[in-house]
Amino acid sequence: MDIKGKVAFVTGGATGIGLAIARSFAARGCKIMLADINADLLTNAEQELRSSGADATSVICDVSDAAAVQQAAETTIDRFGKVHIVVNNAGVGIGGRPGQTPLEDWRWIVDINLMGVVHGVEVFTPLMQAHGEGGYFVNTASMAGHVTDRGMPPYYATKFAVVGYSEALKHDLARSDIGVSVLCPAWVQTNIHKSRLASPTGPSSEAELENDRGFHAMKQVVENGLPTALVGDWTADCVEANRFYIFTHPEMQQYIDQRHELIKADYAACAADMRLNEALS
């Protein structure tokens, strides 16, 4: 896909991976609408892009609110006339143990990480289809959408959902000439480790958050992660190459392979069971 001259709408665009993708798209000639819930950071990001010569503007948007996404889309159409690329990037990360995770936190992370993507797709798909010039969705998931560990079931659940949803979209939207990529990074230098500050049952201050040992462990791996600029450039490369899965950490392949080996082993047990074979014959 040639992204030069296209209009891109980027959620979570005020900082982190979202802003890095916006920078990379703008450098390749995209017009940019930044969307974020943080007004101050959003203003700074817009000013930065504009000072670099980009045709960019911004809109405050809470992706968990379908009406807010609809309003942001209308604002984008009023400004640019159409939208070609939607980067459903806004996301948060919280952990929790089974039986100990407040349902308010579950609803919060699902509304942002999963429904935020759904809202972007449901609102913008008809707009892309209407102009007939094709389009593209980039949905930010994570390596946590492919492999799991202990301590973050809510996060894993939402990211697996985004991967599966994106795989389905790829088939459904192809007939409309709308491409799809799912971005699956591992650790990147963002502020995702501070997400609990905004969660319904989270700490009331960063000082309180600092007392959590789990926070320091996550902070360390995040701060040693990939630079956001590299992830932004790689994402733009993959969109232009029409790659569906956008992976960022080659060393993580071993964990995907381990998961696939487990799936194949258990499927082999299914295939070898004569009761199942006889029932299906």
Query: Which sequence positions are flagged as catalytic?
Result: 155
Longest dimension (CA), the chain: 69
Beta-ladder partners of 11: 35
The phi and psi torsions of 138 (rounded to 5 degrees) equal -115, 115
- Tokens representing 207 are 């000082």
Closest CA to 45 of 18, 24, 15: 15
Distance CA 145, CA 135 (A): 24
Q: Which residue has tokens 């289809």? A: 129
Phi/psi region, residue 177 (left: phi>0; alpha: psi -120 to 50; beta: rest), is left
Q: Are 90 and 183 in contact (CB under 8 A)?
A: no
**Helix, strand, coil share (%) of the chain residues, nearest 5:** 55, 15, 30
Query: Which residues in 242-256 are b (16+ Cβ under 10 Å) and which e?
Result: eeebbbbeeebeebe
